[in-house]
Structure 1
Amino acid sequence: MRIPKISSLYGRIFAIFWFTMFLVLLAVLALPHLDPRIARDIPRDHLQRLMEAKQSIEKRYVNDNDLGRIIFQLEGSDRSHRDSRPRFFLTDLEGNILTTRSHKDFKLKALKNFVTSIDTPDRPQQKLYGRYMVAGPLPIKLAQQDLLMYVGIKWDQPPPFLLQLFDRPFRLLLAVMLVSTPLLLWLAWALSQPARKLERAAQRVAKGEFVTDPELEKGTSEFRQAGASFNQMVGAVNQMISGQQRLLSDISHELRSPLTRLRMATALATRKQGDSPELTRIDTEAQRLEVMIGELLELSRMQANSHVMREEQPLSSLWEAILSDAQFEAEQMHKSLSFTAIPDRVISGNPNLLMSAVDNIVRNAIYYGEDVIEVTMLEQDDQLVITVDDNGDGVPEEELEAIFRPFYRVSTARDRHSGGTGLGMTITESAIRQHSGTIIAKRSRLGGLCVEITLPLLAKK
């Protein structure tokens, strides 16, 4: 028989709860059958030994008609072995205890309670009082009188397991925990698996990988619903980005055609009429517009193409040549560029995007810095921190966050005469973000602009 799979999260929780309650109920129902403190029939082998003891006593005192002396001898015979040998008690048929000892004795009190509690005097039973077991009655004839004999003995056996549990609530709680813990661990494992799948899918989306995962739609009904909604969201975002990419591609195609015709007309006009400031300005603006469209398309492709091929690359292979070339170019402009040693670590990502991001920041610092540029690379807890400082005019404090917006130009130094399109920092920020990194701009200690990039590194092996 195949057990149906519980697909609901609440169903699993309730199933474990009721299973635990079932075990506790089973233990409660089984306790009366195992509790020696409840009167029950004497086991057959024990009853046989009691019958043999009764016959031995009858045989020993068959010719003695003094009941008092018999009782005294029976009580005296167990004085030196009261803890190890059975003690014999006699009562009349009405249940009155015949003894020469004080009735304040615990054993006699236990016997009195046992005599008054048994429902069937004609059937021998036994009952536990603390560590003392009382059994009987057995009909016996002594001194020509019909009497009843009871036997008491110290009970050295350990109490049943369930009895120990119910006598000690802490042990009962511990037993319930031991039974329920494996079930709860299984439940935690069953719940953590779809949660981890959802976490990994969210991390992929954060890295720019908009791929639906059918595994998310397995498991409990709650996680299936969440996984289906997550896949729908990823599909919608992917479709939206793809539509945006197609739109920008179409726009670029439509814009480049009239731009090409415009430049050709400008060239023909220059050939016929000669150079003029107006024609030169038209050609310059057409070139700038063409560059802007190219950078805009590059940004669009970077944002839409989330499934880039990633490679594991040493940091030095990515940026050592770029920094050396930048240092040489800075010297040609009579500026000083210095950089620290590159950490001996490995990073996972798209090499072209990572190289172009740092190259863009460094060349901006060379262009806008006055004469000093410093590049530092530090390793901090599996993260790489790249800082580029310059001593140029910098950026006003209120505009530091805005420089990463598309087409934004700083009011002081980055105007149209600098030749920028306002997309370079946006492209850099997009590349860093696609590698789960961060980039911020702040005031440099050299007086100009400081750009700080943080990227995650692969863990050391």
Structure 2
Amino acid sequence: MKLPKITSLYGRIFAIFWLTMLLVLIAVLALPHLDPRVTKEISGEPLEQLLSLRDKVEKRFAGQSNLGRIIYQLDKPESRHKGNHKQRAPSVFIVDQEGNILSTQKNPDFKTKVLKNFITSVDSFDTPMQKLYGRYMLAGPVPIKLANQELYLYIGLRWTEPPPFLLRMFDKPFQLLFAVMAVSTPLLLWLAWALSQPARRLELAAKRVANGEFKQDPELEKGMSEFKQAGSSFNQMVMAVNQMISGQQRLLSDISHELRSPLTRLRMATALATRKQGESQELLRIDTEAQRLEQMIGELLELSRMNTDSHVTRESQPASSLWEEIFSDAKFEAEQLGKTLRFSEIPDVSISGNPKLLMSAIENIVRNAIRYGKTAINITLSTDKDTLRIVVEDDGPGVPDDELQDIFRPFYRVSKARDRDSGGTGLGLAITQSAILQHSGQIEASRSRLGGLKMHVELPL
């Protein structure tokens, strides 16, 4: 049967919790069976070895009838040699029917003391048992017949085997802590990874939306149910935004068509009237305002299109390929007007974004400086860590300090420099600011050291 896949965050947490509890329960239940310090029954090969030793002792003292002499000889076990390593033979103890230890030693030693404790812990003499005391193992009893008497045999030997792994863990808290960490860390890392992946995908999708890329991501609707629901809601939001933007674009397109058609007819009528009646100040004024209105409609559409479609074309371009030709052309135009334009060397860096918008934004700032500057325009480009700085300064009339923040508002004109006769519609800097913000940059206006306006642009590399 195929187990169901756990897709819920809380389900995975509970699964890890119960798995850890199951491992702890197994360890607790298995510990008594693995712990040699707990009295337990002898069976299998150890029992056979114990009975074989009993038979050897009976055979060795089969012809003797003096029990005291037999006990004396058993109290001094012979040493046996195996290779170059000396091993002590198991200690043999004889106990009578009442549980008294038969020994020729006057002062009880450690072995005798632990044997007394072992005898009292054994409920019945019918079943051989074993128990570990420190590093000393005791086993017995088994019935034995010596000097025509029914007695019991116990043996003791040095325990050389390492204790079981779980026993070492429970005996040493630090090792137990490390073992728990070794078991739980992979599970916790897996849980952290399972949580971070969908969260990371959601974060990247949010960054794309923040950069103007309104695209649905099917990967957001995979994984745990909580993140799947969040991803589904996020995609629905992106789809709704796309529909809203598409509706806005259609509305702007319709408005553009409806407004430009009567403007075109108005200009044609003005031209016909001029041909029939000759030029006049009134007809010239009507044509000028119609041209300005047509320009304003075009710039409004450009501003709206920039706010919605700037994410369509994005690529990485060297800064020199974006603005070197613009600066060179601006220098030539400034010279024709009797002005001096200087620009520093363009840093060898690349900018990621919409090349058309980046070129248009900086060109608009430079041409404004040429238009309003009196004699000098300076352009400085520099880099600082991951930021490109562009500073454009002129020696024109500048902008009052209390209006520096307002010049980026649509249709705003500075009274003393940007009136209707200057030809501006008040949308140029609004379009420039929108383009810079679309590329996660910043633009700031301040007073220049040349006396005019200073435009400071920062773009992330």
TM-score by length of 1: 0.91
Q: Counterpart in 2 of 1:341?
A: 345
1:211 aligns with 2:215: yes
Going from structure 1 to structure 2, the CA distance change for 1:444 and 1:11 (only over 3 Å counts) comes to farther
1:134 aligns with 2:138: yes
RMSD value, Cα: 2.5
Q: State how 1:12-23 maps to structure 2 within 5 Å.
A: 12-23=12-23
Provide, for residues 125-152 of structure 1, a one-character-per-residue CA deviation record: whole Å limited to 9, x for no partner.
Answer: 1111111111111222334432222111
Going from structure 1 to structure 2, the CA distance change for 1:316 and 1:122 (only over 3 Å counts) comes to same
**Matched residue type, 2:224:** T
**Matched residue type, 1:241:** I
Q: State how 1:299-314 maps to structure 2 within 5 Å.
A: 299-314=303-318
Correspondence for 2:291 among 287, 291, 296? 287
Helix, strand or coil: the match of 1:77? coil
Q: State how 1:10-49 maps to structure 2 within 5 Å.
A: 10-49=10-49
Per-residue deviation, 1:296:
0.7
Per-residue deviation, 1:55:
2.5
Per-residue deviation, 1:423:
1.1
Q: State how 1:70-85 maps to structure 2 within 5 Å.
A: 70-77=70-77, 84-85=88-89
Going from structure 1 to structure 2, the CA distance change for 1:72 and 1:201 (only over 3 Å counts) comes to same
Correspondence for 2:378 among 369, 374, 378? 374
Contact 2:80–2:88 under 8 Å retained in 1: no
Q: State how 1:192-211 maps to structure 2 within 5 Å.
A: 192-211=196-215
**How many residues get paired?**
457
Provide, for residues 98-120 of structure 1, a one-character-per-residue CA deviation record: whole Å limited to 9, x for no partner.
Answer: 33446663322221221111223
Identity %: 68
1:118 aligns with 2:131: no
Contact 1:58–1:142 under 8 Å retained in 2: yes
Correspondence for 1:225 among 220, 225, 229? 229
Provide, for residues 332-378 of structure 1, a one-character-per-residue CA deviation record: whole Å limited to 9, x for no partner.
Answer: 23332222222223333322212111111111122223333222222
Partner Cα distance (2:107, 2:393) in 1? 101
Going from structure 1 to structure 2, the CA distance change for 1:395 and 1:142 (only over 3 Å counts) comes to farther
Contact 2:80–2:89 under 8 Å retained in 1: no
Partner Cα distance (1:394, 1:94) in 2? 118
Contact 1:88–1:149 under 8 Å retained in 2: yes
Partner Cα distance (1:103, 1:415) in 2? 121
Helix, strand or coil: the match of 1:309? coil
Going from structure 1 to structure 2, the CA distance change for 1:402 and 1:85 (only over 3 Å counts) comes to farther
Per-residue deviation, 1:448:
3.3
Partner Cα distance (2:19, 2:377) in 1? 70
Structure 1 stretch displaced more, 405-414 or 236-245: 405-414
**Matched residue type, 1:76:** K
Partner Cα distance (1:236, 1:66) in 2? 106
Per-residue deviation, 1:262:
2.7
Going from structure 1 to structure 2, the CA distance change for 1:83 and 1:110 (only over 3 Å counts) comes to farther
Q: State how 1:159-170 maps to structure 2 within 5 Å.
A: 159-170=163-174
Going from structure 1 to structure 2, the CA distance change for 1:118 and 1:311 (only over 3 Å counts) comes to same
Per-residue deviation, 1:80:
11
**Matched residue type, 1:19:** L
Correspondence for 1:247 among 251, 255, 261? 251
Q: Counterpart in 1 of 2:368?
A: 364
In structure 2, stretches of 5+ residues that fail to align are none
Contact 1:316–1:343 under 8 Å retained in 2: yes
Partner Cα distance (2:163, 2:449) in 1? 80
Per-residue deviation, 1:65:
4.0
Partner Cα distance (1:97, 1:444) in 2? 110
Provide, for residues 408-443 of structure 1, a one-character-per-residue CA deviation record: whole Å limited to 9, x for no partner.
Answer: 223453333322111111212222233333333334
Per-residue deviation, 1:37:
1.2
Provide, for residues 286-334 of structure 1, a one-character-per-residue CA deviation record: whole Å limited to 9, x for no partner.
Answer: 2111111111111122222245223332221111111111112222233
Q: Counterpart in 1 of 2:180?
A: 176
Going from structure 1 to structure 2, the CA distance change for 1:35 and 1:103 (only over 3 Å counts) comes to farther
Contact 1:78–1:86 under 8 Å retained in 2: no
Q: Counterpart in 1 of 2:59?
A: 59
Helix, strand or coil: the match of 2:75? helix
Helix, strand or coil: the match of 2:446? strand
Structure 1 stretch displaced more, 115-124 or 269-278: 269-278
Going from structure 1 to structure 2, the CA distance change for 1:241 and 1:68 (only over 3 Å counts) comes to same
Helix, strand or coil: the match of 1:316? helix
Helix, strand or coil: the match of 1:152? strand
Contact 2:404–2:445 under 8 Å retained in 1: yes
Structure 1 stretch displaced more, 66-75 or 253-262: 66-75
Contact 1:437–1:453 under 8 Å retained in 2: yes
Going from structure 1 to structure 2, the CA distance change for 1:116 and 1:382 (only over 3 Å counts) comes to same
Helix, strand or coil: the match of 2:341? strand
Helix, strand or coil: the match of 1:370? coil
Partner Cα distance (1:10, 1:61) in 2? 72
Helix, strand or coil: the match of 1:297? helix
**Matched residue type, 1:327:** K
Helix, strand or coil: the match of 1:348? strand
Helix, strand or coil: the match of 2:76? helix
Q: Counterpart in 1 of 2:2?
A: 2
Contact 1:78–1:87 under 8 Å retained in 2: no
Provide, for residues 365-420 of structure 1, a one-character-per-residue CA deviation record: whole Å limited to 9, x for no partner.
Answer: 22223333222222333432222233333333443333222222234533333221
Helix, strand or coil: the match of 1:37? coil
**Matched residue type, 1:33:** H
In structure 1, stretches of 5+ residues that fail to align are none
Partner Cα distance (2:367, 2:75) in 1? 112
1:157 aligns with 2:164: no
Helix, strand or coil: the match of 2:88? coil
**Matched residue type, 1:366:** I
Contact 1:374–1:390 under 8 Å retained in 2: yes
Going from structure 1 to structure 2, the CA distance change for 1:340 and 1:134 (only over 3 Å counts) comes to same
Contact 2:311–2:354 under 8 Å retained in 1: no
